[in-house]
Structure 1
Amino acid sequence: MIPTLAAIRFGTGLSPDLPPPDGAADLLARLDGPDEMAERFPVPDWNTRMDLIRRHGRLRRARREDPAAAEEYKKINRRLHTIYHRDLRQTMMRAIVTRDGLRERLTWFWAGHFAVADGGGYLRRSVAAYHDAAIRPHVAGRFGDLLFAAVTHPAMLTYLDQEKSIGPNSPRGRRGGGLNENLAREVLELHTLGAGAPYSQTDVRELAKLLTGLSVTRDGRFRWVRNMVEPGAETVLGETYGDETPNRHDIAAVLSDLAVHPATARHLSAKIARHFIADDPPADLIEAMTGTWLDTDGSLPAVYGAMLDHPAAWAPELRKVRRPLDFMAAALRVTDSGSELEAARGIRPLREGLTDPLTLMGQPWLRPSGPDGWPEEGTAWITPQGLAARLGWAMDLGRRQKPALDPRLLVETALGPLAGDRVRFAAGAAEDRAAGIGLILASPEFQRR
């Protein structure tokens, strides 16, 4: 039972070809190893995308007067659109063939925690590169490093309008402009301490002043602008940072302190437990994770280990609903659909088989509705439209299997000892193999982890 739960609850699902992790020690050992999937299934990096976006912007302005520019604009637009769909394919391929499913799941979790949405400008078809640069390399490290990488990345600075934040008394501020509190507020309320934690509006404003200077160049790269920095010391949660001389190390210092604050430890320990274990995780589990966080200065592997050491981690009840991305990845993995997906040419099969269904299920690719990311509660995902989309996609996946898998075998591969009598009966009694595959993938057992 433990290997099955390790693959389903903490990984990307069971596979017909790859053995599941043996348990907690195996999960953590693989996480401690090299990131093989990022190397095997790369995505274009941030700077490459910024070069494309910069050209896209220039051509958009020139296309009305220059037919050649208009044609080139269409090509760049199509290329960016293609990259968006291929990012999803690469994400799915990593989940389908990985032996390190916990890394994939943690990347998705932290990408939601430090949410940035696909949009216009620098965020046009570039968010996957932000995930690979700022999130993925740090999911097995210290939270302070992850926090700094995410908060100071050009994607986050753009998303929360930080590049427009100017210290009122800075050289630049004396010529106009103003302070923007968006990033400071989200750092305190979402990224670290949590809503209801012991901070005030004064702390938000002081942190906003301290974060001035964080900005983005015209070609989408990070920059720190000294003449935008609010001069003088700022006090956040009773600690004083900075002086009259602008110093970006003060930003690193305040983020480092927030990363190991007791409120941060409790808020994020509870959030991790809610994501992996249950919408209402045991109080002693949260206490154990919080204590480990504080004892290790935010060592994320140690916190994950505290979670995996708790009996609730291995309870046989499937308490969590798989989000659409998780569900689709697990279904493609267990049906051994990687070769077909990897061989897909053009964006139409990717759009029809992945991107559009993901939207119908309620999780549009790289487009969370706000900086708080995706909802955690199962009720947010089990809706009439969402269930209908899951069922339709599962049945379609069953029809695409060539040759069709035997549902009586698939039910064992997909669920093992977690399969109930009803889904076993449905697998054997379906009118054809395609229907049987669809019924297994649409079953309550497969929808949960």
Structure 2
Amino acid sequence: MHLKRRTLAAFAAPCLPLTGVGLPLVVYLPPYYAGTLGLDLAMTGILFSLVRWLDLPLDIVFGHQIDRTDTRLGRFRPWMLGGCLVMLAGLFVVFFAQPGLTPLHAFAGLFLMYAGFSAAQVAHTSWGQALSTDYHERSRIFGWWQAGNMIGLLGLLAVPPLAGVLAPRFGWTPGPALGVHGMGWVLIALLPAVLLLVTTMVPERPPRHRSPHGWRDIWSALKLPLLRRVLLIDLLASLAPGFGGALLIFFFEAARGFPAETARLLLLFYFAAGLIGAPLWGWFARRTSKHQAVMWSIGSYAVLHVMLVLLPSTNFWLAAGGMLLAGIPAVAPAFLIRAMLADVTDAETLATGKSNAGLYYAVLVGVQKLGYAIPVGLSYIVLDMVGFDAKAGTGNTQTAISGLIFLFLVPPVIAAIGAAWLARGWTITAEVQARTAAALAAAN
């Protein structure tokens, strides 16, 4: 079934605010908490990592309950609504924290925000899987999903520099707090609007082979070879930009001599490239396959990330060009892996007679969180050990800056190469998925 563009646009709309709890939060919030708000650097890394680890069981709970949900509103709508409302409360706490906040206060706000995000994200991606059984249409669905993420990222990252430009006119106090508060208000304003769109314009289809699973099925699911493989691909593909994103502002400020505002501006080039990369890699996947597109995109990302580190210091346009090139392949794995998981879900539904889409996407959301939690926690602790000072910029010691460059370069490249290697030899092609979809339709 070929979905209408307005349906796909409505489905992608929640990505605009939900993406704000992804990479922008990793890029902006930890340095802001450790610098402007005065939280200890190592403690900041521990908190931002710990809250993701503790949030992981909630993903499984939400996925388990989504698969068991059967209401007049549908299976996914109640969880989208409830999750976004909880996330809304967390946004107020996290983005409007004041200097001198305690670690407990920071943790409570982060946990509340991530809990709501988890429910909404699991419901949203599971909903996308259910919209079509066609191999290439799923790439199209999650391509729109990724385009929504890219537009949300660009819009959100444009808020701090725009707020800085408008500050003199409106009498606002310039500084990091202005940009963070501005992002918070944008996210809070967007949530109700996109909820209205997705809940009124996107259809829900009755699940095939409804057979609510028990908790034992969670452990059984994690033993499935295809599921384990796609999860590991996603983890490694998330670790690569996760390390880069967590350290990007520190890298360009301390190791390359750019002002903090300029370092943040470079992010716009990186995410703007995603608007080119998403349709480009979607086209490549239709001409070849989803797993080959993942393999080539994440492999080329590794090469371009090395080139980015080798660029000379303080040349803005060279750095901007490097960020633009690196952003083109970085966008592909997220939406293509979700489309691959949709095919895995159908294959396992045919094999077991149970529809566990919510569970599978819950695990994937959890894995993506690890891809961003591990870099922040690990890299910030290591930076603290080598004496890196978040406030010192180029005034850090050479040992501290060398440690920063090593963390920015080596882990992302290793993770990207691992993801590309695992994507080779994926067995679900367009022909295999067509046979699976036909068998599922015949069994109904």
Q: TM-score, normalised by structure 1?
A: 0.29
Q: Where is the helix percentage greater, Structure 1 or Structure 2?
A: 2
Report which structure shows greater RCO (CA 8 Å, sep ≥6): 2
Question: Which of these two proteins has the greater Rg computed from alpha carbons?
Answer: 1
TM-score normalised to structure 2 length: 0.29
